[in-house]
Structure 1
Amino acid sequence: MALYLLVLGVCLLVIGSVLIILMTTSTPRYRTEPKDLLALFDKALESRVSETEWNAMIGYPIRHDEYLDGVRRRASQLMEEYGRRWQIAQGKPLLNTAGQQELQALRDHLAAHTALRQR
C-alpha cells in the first residue's frame, strides 16, 4: 500500500509539473522585421535566394506592421509580374531586369523608411 501511494504521488507530481509548465509557457512567434526583408531583397538581387526562402518570407502576412505588410504585398506583386521561377535552378535571377530594378527601388525605399524610423 505504501508503494502504491508513493508511485501515485510521484505520478501526480510529474503530471502536475508538466501541466504547469505547459500552461505558463507561451507559443513562440516569428515577427518579420525590416532587416529580414532587406536581407531577403539583397539575396534576391544577388541571385542567392531560393524560391522556397522567398515564398516563406513573402507568402506569410505581417500583421504587426501595416507598412511592412504593404512592402511584402508589393514584393509578391513583383514576383507575379516579373518572376522567373523556372530559371532559379540554373542560377539565374529570381526576377527579370525590370523586376530587379523595381525590387531595388523597393529595397531602397524600405531602407530609407527604416533609417527614418530609427532616428
Structure 2
Amino acid sequence: MTVVITLLLSFCFFALIIWALMHMHTPRFRMDREQFVRGLEDVIAGQADDNEWRILTGYPMRHDPELERLRLECLAIEETEYTGGSPHLFTRAGIERLRAVREQLLPQDNDKTDNTKEL
C-alpha cells in the first residue's frame, strides 16, 4: 500500500512540475526607441563597446516594425563599416551612416509656415 501511495504522489508531483513548466513564459526583452537612440549615441560617441553593440542589434524588434527596419539597417552598416576598434567601433563612414539612422528616430520639428502669405 505504501508503494502505491508513493508512486501516486510521485506521479502527481512530476505531473505538476511538467504542467508548471508548460505554462511558464520566458522573460521578454523589449527595447524602446529611446533606448535604441541612446545606444546609437553611445556608439557614435565612442562610449560603447562590442558587447553593447551586440545588445543593441542582437534582438529582433517584433513589437516595432520601423525599429526593426532600422536595426537591420544597422546590421547592414556593420557588415561593411565595423572595425571593432577602440574607442570607435566603426569607420568614419559607418559613424555617419549611424547618425543618419539616429536622425530617423529623433522627433521631427515641423517648421511652422506662415500661412498669411497665401491670403
Tell me if TM exceeds 0.5.
Answer: yes
| Shift of residue 33, structure 1, vs aligned partner | 2.4
Number of the residue aligned with 2:77: 78
Number of the residue aligned with 1:30: 29
Number of the residue aligned with 1:69: 68
Change (3 A) 1:41 1:19: same
Number of the residue aligned with 2:48: 49
Q: What are structure 1's unaligned runs of at least 5 residues?
A: 114-119
Question: Which amino acid is 1:104 matched to?
Answer: R
Asked if the contact 2:81/2:94 (under 8 Å) is kept, the reply is: yes
Number of the residue aligned with 1:93: 88
| Shift of residue 84, structure 1, vs aligned partner | 1.6
Q: What are structure 2's unaligned runs of at least 5 residues?
A: 109-119
| Shift of residue 82, structure 1, vs aligned partner | 2.6
SS in 2 for 1:74: helix
Kindly report structure 1 stretches of 4+ aligned residues shifted beyond 6 Å.
Answer: none
- TM-align CA RMSD: 2.4
> How many positions carry a matched residue from both structures?
108
| Shift of residue 56, structure 1, vs aligned partner | 4.2
SS in 2 for 1:105: helix
| Shift of residue 110, structure 1, vs aligned partner | 0.8
Larger radius of gyration: 2
| Shift of residue 26, structure 1, vs aligned partner | 2.4
The structure that is helix-richer by fraction is 1
